[in-house]
Amino acid sequence: MPQSPLTHSVLLSITLLACALPASAQIDEPNINEKKTQITKIVQQISAQRIDSYVRKLVSFHTRHTMSETQSDTVGIGAARRWIKAELERCSAGQLDVQFDSYVEAGGRRISKPTEIVNVVATLKGKTDPGRYYVVSGHYDSRATDVMDATSFAPGANDDASGTAAVMEMACVMAQHRFDASIVFMAVAAEEQGLYGATHWAKQAREKNLNIAGMFTNDIIGSSRSEHGEIDNKSVRLFAEGIPAVKELPDATRNLIATGGESDSISRQLARHVKETGERYVPGFTVNIIHRRDRYLRGGDHIPFLEQGYAALRFTEPNEDFHHQHQNVRIENGVQLGDLPEFVDTDYTANVARVNAAALASLALAPAAPAQVQMNTSQLENDTSMRWNANTEADLAGYRIVWRDTTSSVWQGSVMVGNVLSYTVKGKSKDNYFFGVQAVDKDGNISVASYPMPEKK
Ligand SMILES: [Zn+2]
C-alpha cells in the first residue's frame, strides 16, 4: 500500500536529529511536495502561438528532404536549417551555444548520392554539473510518399515540424533559466532516410564518453485526432524500452533479468520520472508509458541513443492518422492526404512541449541518480538493506528510497532517509517489491531512481 512520504520523512528526520546532532542544530528537510516556481514558470512560458508559427515556417520551405536543395534561401533543407540556427541564436540572446554538427554520408539504402547530413545542436551549459547532459530532439527533415523523392511538396507539419517546433520553443524558453546540468536541444536531419543524424551524434557522444543521463525524441506530437476522428488531446505516449535487444548481454543486463528487473532499465526509470513530473506540472494531461521501444514498423531518433547504451524515450501522439504521414499532398476519393499544417493542433503540441520541459527542467535541476546502488543479499531475511556511493553535488540533502509492487509500473511508496549511504527498510521484503534509490537536493529536486543490483560477494 502506498505510504505517505511526508509522515515518514518527518519521523525519520526526528530520529536522525535525535541521534546525530546536538539539540540546537537544525536541518531543513527538503520540501519534495511543493511545485518549483522555476518549473511552473517555464511551463507557463511555453507558447502554442510560437509553436504554430514555427510549424508554418518549417512547412514554407516546400520540402525538407535530406537530399533536397541546399543553396536556396527559401526552399529545401539548407534554408530550413539555417533558419532554425538563426532563430535559436536570436531567441536565446546568446545564452545557447548553437552549432551545426555535420558530416558527409557517402551513400546508403536511402541515400543515393554523397549528402551532407547536418544537425542543429543548441547547448545550454549547466552551472554546477555541466558534464551531465540531457538531450531533447525533433527531426526537421521531411518526406513525401517516395522516400527518395527530394523535390515534391513535403510539408511534414506533424512529422516532424511539430517535434522540431516544440524543441525550438523549449530551447528559447529554457535559455532564460539556469540549471545544474546541461541541456542539449537538437533539430536532427535524415531521420526519414534511416536515423543518420541522430546516429552520428550519439556515436560521437559515446566516443567522447559523454555522460548523457537521458534523451527524449519528439516525433509526431502534432495531432490529437485519429484516422477515425476520435479526439484525445489529453494524453501522449511515451515509448520506453525495457531490456535492450542486443545479441550479447552485458553483465548489468544479465543481473537485471536475473532479479526480475526487466522493467527497471535506465529508460524505464527515466520514463517514470517523466510521467511523474510531466503530470504534476501539466494538470489533466496523462503520460502513458508504453513498455516497448517504438511502434511496429517504425523507429525514431531515440534508437541510436539506446544502441549506445543511453537511456532514451520517444514521445508520440496517442492516435496517429496515417493519411497525414509520409504521403504526397493530394486528394483521393474526396480525402485530403498529406502532412499539412491544418491537421496539426498546436495547443496539443504545446502541452506535450510543457511535459518535456517540466521533465527536462526537473532532471537538470536535480542531482544525478545515485551510483553503485547495491542490494544486500548476504542472508535470507524479510527486511531490505541497500547501500550506495555518495553523490558529489554541493547542494545534496540526502536520499529517498522508493518501492512498488512487482506488477506496478510506477512507484507506490517512498521514505526520505537523510544523508546516509545505506539503509534498511524494515518489514518490506526485497522478494516482494521493487526498490529504487533517489538523490534529493536541498530545494527538494529529486533524481531518477537507481535500481539496486545484488551485492557482489
Ligand atoms: Zn518522424
What pLDDT, in 10s, does the model give residues 81-115? 999 999 999 999 999 999 999 999 998 899 999 99
Band the pLDDT of 27: cuts 50, 70, 90: low
Centre of ligand 1 from the C-alpha of residue 159, in Å: 5
Residue 26 has pLDDT above 60, yes or no: no
The answer to whether 30 and 444 have CB atoms below 8 angstroms apart is: yes
Band the pLDDT of 28: cuts 50, 70, 90: low
Q: Is 93 left (phi over 0), alpha (psi -120 to 50) or beta?
A: left
Q: Distance between CA atoms of 268 and 331, rounded to whole angstroms? A: 41
Centre of ligand 1 from the C-alpha of residue 185, in Å: 17
**What is the predicted pLDDT for the residue at 320?**
87
Q: Is 261 left (phi over 0), alpha (psi -120 to 50) or beta?
A: alpha
Mean pLDDT of 146-165: 97
| Nearest residue to 311 (alpha-carbon basis) of 221, 391, 219, 213 | 213
Can you tell me whether residue 233 is helix, strand or coil? coil
Residue 192 has pLDDT above 70, yes or no: yes
Query: How many residues in total does the chain contain?
Result: 457
Question: Over the Cα atoms of the chain, what is R_g?
Answer: 23
Q: Tell me if the bond preceding 345 is cis, omega within 30° of 0.
A: no
Residue 225 has pLDDT above 60, yes or no: yes
CA end-to-end distance (rounded Å), the chain: 32
Centre of ligand 1 from the C-alpha of residue 140, in Å: 9
Which residue type sits at 379? Q
Residue 386, beta-bridge partner list: 375, 423
Residue 382 has pLDDT above 60, yes or no: yes
Predicted confidence (pLDDT) per residue in 363-380, tens digit: 999 999 999 999 998 888
Q: Distance between CA atoms of 384 and 213, rounded to whole angstroms? A: 27
Centre of ligand 1 from the C-alpha of residue 158, in Å: 8
The answer to whether 369 and 447 have CB atoms below 8 angstroms apart is: yes
Centre of ligand 1 from the C-alpha of residue 219, in Å: 5
Centre of ligand 1 from the C-alpha of residue 386, in Å: 42
Which residue type sits at 107? G
Residue 20 has pLDDT above 50, yes or no: no
Residue 437, beta-bridge partner list: 401, 450
Centre of ligand 1 from the C-alpha of residue 181, in Å: 28
Write out the three cell numbers for 364: 537538470
Residue 171 has pLDDT above 50, yes or no: yes
Residue 296 Cα distances to 14, 146, 293, 300, angstroms: 52, 20, 9, 12
Centre of ligand 1 from the C-alpha of residue 156, in Å: 8
Centre of ligand 1 from the C-alpha of residue 54, in Å: 17
Write out the three cell numbers for 379: 542472508
Centre of ligand 1 from the C-alpha of residue 321, in Å: 13
Q: Distance between CA atoms of 447 and 273, rounded to whole angstroms? A: 8
- Burial per residue of 204-219, b for 16 or more beta-carbon CB atoms within 10 angstroms, e otherwise: ebbeeebebbbbbbbb
Centre of ligand 1 from the C-alpha of residue 186, in Å: 14
Residue 5 Cα distances to 10, 12, 50, 317, angstroms: 9, 10, 39, 33
Centre of ligand 1 from the C-alpha of residue 230, in Å: 22
Least confident of 11-15, 67-71, 209-213: 11-15
Q: Distance between CA atoms of 334 and 122, rounded to whole angstroms? A: 43
Write out the three cell numbers for 412: 507506490
Centre of ligand 1 from the C-alpha of residue 119, in Å: 15
Band the pLDDT of 428: cuts 50, 70, 90: very high
